[in-house]
Amino acid sequence: MSLRLPAPARREQILDVSVQVFAHRGFHSTSMNDVAEAAGVTKPVLYQHFDSKQDLYMALLEEAGARLRNAVHKAVSEATTGKQQTEFGYKAYFRWVAQDHDAFLLLFGSRANRDEESTIAIRRITAEAAHAIAPLIAADIEGEHQEMLAHGLVGLAEGVSRHLVEKGVQFDPEVLGQQIADLAWAGLRAVHRNG
Amino acid sequence: MSLRLPAPARREQILDVSVQVFAHRGFHSTSMNDVAEAAGVTKPVLYQHFDSKQDLYMALLEEAGARLRNAVHKAVSEATTGKQQTEFGYKAYFRWVAQDHDAFLLLFGSRANRDEESTIAIRRITAEAAHAIAPLIAADIEGEHQEMLAHGLVGLAEGVSRHLVEKGVQFDPEVLGQQIADLAWAGLRAVHRNG
DNA sequence: ATAACGGGTGACCGAACAGTAACGGGCCGT
DNA sequence: ACGGCCCGTTACTGTTCGGTCACCCGTTAT
C-alpha cells in the first residue's frame, strides 16, 4: 500500500518519523510495528533500511548528536573572548533545542530509555559538550575539577531546556542563552575566587 | 532454600537489593528473575511483597525521592539568609548523593529507564526540588521565569553528580556543595542585574 | 509480450519475560 | 505428636515483540 517511495527517500522518512515516535514514547515503549505504522509501511520495510531496532535508534542518536555538536562548535569558534564563547555556545545550544525539539527529547528527555549501548553514546555526547566548555573555566583550576564544573554547566542548560520543552513553553533562544551565559560566567568567576 | 526471613525483613531486603540492581542495569534490562536471584530467592516471593514489577520500582523511586526531599528540606530550613540556604541545600544534596549512590543513579543516572508512570514520578521529584529552590531567586523575577532558573540549578547539581558518580570519583560533599552554591549564588545575582 | 528489478506485504517463528497455580516443609502452639 | 501457618519452590502459561521467509505487483528495458 501507501505510495511507493525510492529507497533513500524512504530511509529519510523513516528517520524523520521515528525520531518523533521515540522521542515521545521512549525506546522500550515503542515497538517496530509502531514505527512502521507511523511511517505508513510495514515492519519488513524497516529492516530493509536498518539492521535492527538498536541500529535504527543509534542512527537517530548519532544524527541528533552531530547536529548539536556542530551547532555549538561552529558558534563557539566564531567568538573571541571567553565570555563571548560562553554566550555564543549557550545561544547555539538553545537554538538547537528550540528548532529540534524531538532531537532534544530523544537525547535528554525524561523518557530517554537507555540500554548499555545508547547510554555510552549519550554519555559521549554529553562528555564532548563538557569538554568543549572546560577550557572556558579559569586555568588555575586543575583538570579533573574543570571537567566536573563543565558537566555542571551542561546540566544547567539541560535542566532549563527539559523544563521548557516538556512543559511546552515557548522561548527565545537568544534571550535565554544570554541569561544562562551570564549566570554561568558570573558563577565561574565566583568559584574561581573561592576555589 | 536460603535462610527463611520474616516477611517485613524480607521486604526490606528486597528493596535494598533491587535498588542496587535497578540502579546499575536499568528497569527494562533487569528481569524479575534477576532481582530474585540477587536477593537469593525465587520470583514468586517478590510477588508476595509487591503487586508487580512496576509496583516494586515505584516503591523504590518513592523512597529515594523522599530521602532526598527530607534531607534538602531539613538542611534549608536550618538556614537564615538566602545565601546560606543555597549553601545548606546544595551541601545536603551532595551529601545525599555521596551516601546513597544507588538511589541517585536510580533517579537521575543515565540508565534510568522510564515509562509513563515513573517519568511522572521523577518529574515530580525534580519539580519539587526546583520549587524549593525557586524562592531563593530574586523576587523581582516573575514566577515562571523563577521556576525555569530553578530547574537549571537543579540540573547543575545533577550534571555534576552524574559525572562524579558514574566516573566513580570520590568527593567531599561539604566542599563541593560550597563551590556549587557559590557558583549558583553569584550566577543568580548576575542574571538578576541583567534580567 | 515478457523478463528482471525493486519496493512492499502477510503470516509466521522463537525467545524473553511478567505473572500464577499448586505444592513442600519447618516451626509454632496445643 | 499434630495440625495449621507461613515462607518458600518448581513448573507452567500467555503475551509481546524483534526479526525473517516467501510471495506480490507495478514499472522499465529488451
* Best mean pLDDT range from A39-43, B116-120, B188-192: A39-43
* Chain A residue nearest residue B158, CA to CA: A155
A143 or A116, which is more confident: A116
Q: Is A124 on the interface with B (CB under 8 A)?
A: no
* Best mean pLDDT range from A114-123, A186-195, B39-48: B39-48
Residue A171 confidence (pLDDT) above 70: yes
Categorize the per-residue pLDDT at A193 as very low, low, confident or very high, splitting at 50, 70 and 90: confident
Range scoring the smallest mean pLDDT among A20-34, A42-56, B112-126, B128-142: B128-142
Question: How large is the average pLDDT for residues B137-150?
Answer: 86
Q: Is B54 on the interface with A (CB under 8 A)?
A: no
Interior/surface letters B63-84, b for 16+ CB within 10 angstroms, e for the rest: ebbeebeebbeebbeeeeeebe
Pick from B113, B159, B185: which is nearest to A152 by CB? B159
* Cβ-contact A88, A79 below 8 angstroms: yes
Residue B182 confidence (pLDDT) above 90: yes
Interior/surface letters A100-131, b for 16+ CB within 10 angstroms, e for the rest: bbbbbbbbbbbbbbbbeebbebbbebbbbbbe
Instruction: Using the structure block, give the residue that is written with the C-alpha cell 532534544.
Output: A104
Which of A83, A117, A171, A182 has the highest number of chain B CBs within 10 A, making it the mutation to test binding with B? A182
**Distance (Å, whole) CA B3 – CA A54:** 41
pLDDT of residue A195: 61
pLDDT of residue B4: 92
- Sort out which chain B residues have CB atoms less than 8 A from A183's CB and list them: 149, 152, 187-188, 190-191
* Cβ-contact A155, A162 below 8 angstroms: no
pLDDT of residue A70: 96
Residues 75-94, chain B, touching A (beta carbon < 8 A): none
pLDDT of residue B136: 84
A193 or B9, which is more confident: B9
Q: Is B155 on the interface with A (CB under 8 A)?
A: yes
The CA–CA distances, whole Å, from A74 to A70, A173, B53 equal 6, 16, 46
Categorize the per-residue pLDDT at B1 as very low, low, confident or very high, splitting at 50, 70 and 90: low
pLDDT-above-70 percentage for chain B: 97
Counting one residue from chain A and one from chain B, the pairs whose CB atoms sit within 8 A come to 141
**Distance (Å, whole) CA B73 – CA B93:** 10
Selection from B100, B96, B74, B98 nearest residue B85 by Cα: B74
Q: Is the CB of B54 under 7 A from strand C?
A: yes
Categorize the per-residue pLDDT at B195 as very low, low, confident or very high, splitting at 50, 70 and 90: low
Categorize the per-residue pLDDT at A156 as very low, low, confident or very high, splitting at 50, 70 and 90: very high
Residue A114 confidence (pLDDT) above 90: no
Residue B63 confidence (pLDDT) above 80: yes
Categorize the per-residue pLDDT at B114 as very low, low, confident or very high, splitting at 50, 70 and 90: confident
> Cβ contact (<8 Å) for A152 and B166?
no
Give the distance from CA B20 to its chain's centroid. Answer: 14
- CATH fold group of domain B7-194: Tetracycline Repressor; domain 2 (1.10.357)
Residues 124-183 of A with CB under 7 A from strand D: none
Instruction: Using the structure block, give the residue that is written with the C-alpha cell 538556614.
Output: B79
Nucleotide lying nearest to A56, CA to C1' measure: D18
* Cβ-contact B179, A195 below 8 angstroms: yes
Residue A96 confidence (pLDDT) above 90: yes
Question: How large is the average pLDDT for residues B62-68?
Answer: 97
> Cβ contact (<8 Å) for A159 and B169?
no
Categorize the per-residue pLDDT at B38 as very low, low, confident or very high, splitting at 50, 70 and 90: very high
Residues 166-195, chain B, touching A (beta carbon < 8 A): 166, 169, 178-180, 182-191, 194-195
pLDDT of residue A142: 83
pLDDT of residue A1: 60
Three-state DSSP class for residue A109: coil
* Cβ-contact A157, A176 below 8 angstroms: no
pLDDT of residue A110: 87
Categorise residue A79: left if φ over 0, alpha if ψ from -120 to 50, beta otherwise. beta
Average pLDDT of every residue of chain B: 94
Residue B135 confidence (pLDDT) above 70: yes
* Cβ-contact A111, A162 below 8 angstroms: no
Selection from B166, B141, B135 nearest residue B23 by Cα: B166
**Distance (Å, whole) CA B130 – CA A162:** 13
Question: How large is the average pLDDT for residues A81-102?
Answer: 97
* Cβ-contact B150, B131 below 8 angstroms: yes
Q: A58-194 architecture in CATH?
A: Orthogonal Bundle (1.10)
